[in-house]
Each structure stands twice: as C-alpha cells, then as structure tokens.
Amino acid sequence: MKNDITRRTKGFTIIELVVVIVIIGILAATALPRFVDMTGDAQSAAVQAVGGAFASGVNLTHASWIAQGAIAAVNSAPLDGGVTIGLNDSGWPENTSTSGGNGTITAAECILVWNTILSSPPTVSASAGQEWRVTVSSPTCTYTYNASAGRSIAYNSSTGQVVTTVP
C-alpha cells in the first residue's frame, strides 16, 4: 500500500500533461489574434501622434497671429528655428510666404505647411511615392498615410480644424 502512494507522487500522469497542454493551447488561440494585429494598432498610433503634433502646430501658429493683433494685415508668424509661416486673413497657416495667403490652398502649399509646422516631418508628396500623400479640395488638405488604408489627417485652412481619421 505504501509503495502505491509513493509511486503516484513522483510525477505527472499523461492525462494531466495532456489537459495542461490543451489549456495552454486554448489560451494561445484566444490571445494570438490580438498580438497579430499589433501592426495596425502601431500605424494608427503613429497617425494619431502626427495628427496631434500637426494640430498643436496649427494652433500655436494661430496663437501667434492673435498675439500680433489678430488682424488680416498680419500675414506671417515666426516659428522656432527662424522659420516663417504664411497666414491667411483668418490667421491660419496657408504657405511659407511672408506676404501671407490668399484663402485658396494648393497641394504645394499643403506640403509647405506640413514641412514647416512639423519638426522632423514624415515625407509627404502629391504622388503616392512617399510615406504620406497629400490631396487638396481647397480649403482642405488631406494627408493620407500610404502604409495602411483608412488613416489620414485633414486640415481645413479656413477654420484651422485638424481631423485625424484612423480605423
């Protein structure tokens, strides 16, 4: 009798090992899909970060316009690093000209605003060859993240509104 008790306490039975392996398999099967989609989450976070930085830059530029008197005659605002951004009559960034903007924004001006407002900006162009692609329906610049569909930043140069879209 004593011999049976000591033999049972020396190790696991094959049934116990199979049950543990099945439980680990079920846990892995439920957790794996969450870890597989980490790329999409990272891309969404990157777009949100760039969108937040861009919105902050737009608002700081507008605050500079307000500090200068908030009148249509204020055509530009100085930024860090000795850079100047051109403003439209409402005080929102439109180009890099010291004479300001005319209220109509072009793709080239959208790129200038992007590259001027953001410090170390991601590459952007009007074609699909860069990290970001810009399209314009004046007064709105839409910056689309090329690495993943459905991720974009829209900037309305008439109102200063910046909208970040991620799935």
pLDDT digits (tens, 9 = 90+) for 77-118: 998 888 899 999 999 999 988 888 888 999 999 999 999 999
The percent of residues in the chain predicted with pLDDT above 70, rounded, is 93
Pairing mode, strands 162-165 and 76-79:
unpaired
Residue type, 120: S
pTM above 0.85, yes or no: no
What average pLDDT does the chain have? 89
* Mean pLDDT of all residues in 8-37: 82
Tokens of 157: 């140069």
Cα separation, 144 vs 134, whole angstroms: 6
For β-strands 140-145 and 152-156, DSSP reports them as: antiparallel
What span, in angstroms and rounded, lies between the C-alpha atoms of 152 and 48? 9
Where do runs of H (alpha helix) occur along 9-97?
A: 14-36, 38-67
pLDDT per position as a tens digit, 133-153:
999 998 999 999 998 889 999
